[in-house]
Chains A and B, each alone.
Chain A
Amino acid sequence: MTVATIEGRHVDVDAEGFMSDPQQWDEALAEALAKNIGIEMTDAHRAAIRFARSDFMTTGETPTLRRMATAGGVTTKDMFLLFPKKPAKKLAYVAGLPKPVGCV
């Protein structure tokens, strides 16, 4: 296990830097994580993150792009605008969730 300091707090992370305990996450931490990967947070980012977290809490899985579109109401196009290039992974990182495992 690795503990890292983010925003002056001790947070469990994996080797890549994804948080490994979703319970340690809060919105202030999300702002810091977003900054780390060059994302300027907007309300649209926050809404996507909130859905991803509540979905994870219900299903136990990080939502894929498909799930974000069908259950979360965030279109695939919007996901690529909000979290360019690797939207599902970037969303997971900022939301303090594990990388998505679903194929589609």
Chain B
Amino acid sequence: MTTTLEHAPVPAFDDDPGGGRKLCIICSKGSLDMAYPGLVLANAALGEGIETHLFFTFWGFDMINKSTMAHLQFTPLGNPATHMPPSLMGLPGMTAFATHMMKKQIEGIDVPGVPEFLEMITDSGGHLWACRMSADMMHLDSDDLYDRVEAIISAADFIEISAGAQIIFI
């Protein structure tokens, strides 16, 4: 059936039904496979005009540590979702091989590596924050971190920043 309208509907792009929706994503993992969920969601939220903050803590520091951010790894060891014989997954070279394969698959669908993804997120207006306790534990300061990280902040600061936000812990 065809309906004919005198006036075309216009998508409600700027009427924010969520009323200033805000998203905070806590990134606590430093493996390649666990870096992507936060990056993809942050990017999607920003593309929807949602204020988005990423807070990097503990192993998540590897995502913003200049010396590791481009070299995250994936290990199939102890991961039943790979559906491979567990006894083989611990063999030497397996992590390097699995990492190589995963990076190739990610690249194959034109999804950027971690540093470029963070660049895209900050170009879209996303905010990056680093955890104070993790920085202290690992003896890192802002010079060691990706230069688009806005600041190293305390847990209390994060609670302030995330006021009224939806929070995702990864």
Contacts and interface: CB of A to CB of B under 8 A. Distances in A.
Interface of A: 1-6, 10-11, 13, 15-18, 36-38, 64-67, 69-70, 75-77, 80, 84-90, 93, 103-104
Contacts of A89: 11, 13, 47
B10 interface: yes
B138 interface: no
Contact of B14 (A75, A80, A85): A85
Given A37-B10, A104-B40, A3 B112 contact: no
Contact of A17 (B4, B11, B110, B112): B11
Chain B at the A interface: SS class: loop
Given A66-B112, A85-B49, A87-B47, A5 B120 contact: no
Contacts of A36: 8, 10
Contacts, number: 87
Given A66-B112, A89-B47, 11 more contacts: A3-B3, A4-B7, A5-B7, A13-B8, A37-B11, A66-B111, A75-B123, A85-B13, A85-B49, A86-B47, A103-B40
B11 A18 contact: yes
Contact of B2 (A1, A67, A87): A1
A90 B13 contact: yes
Contacts of B47: 64-65, 86-89
8 contacts: A2-B2, A2-B3, A3-B2, A4-B4, A6-B8, A16-B9, A17-B8, A70-B110
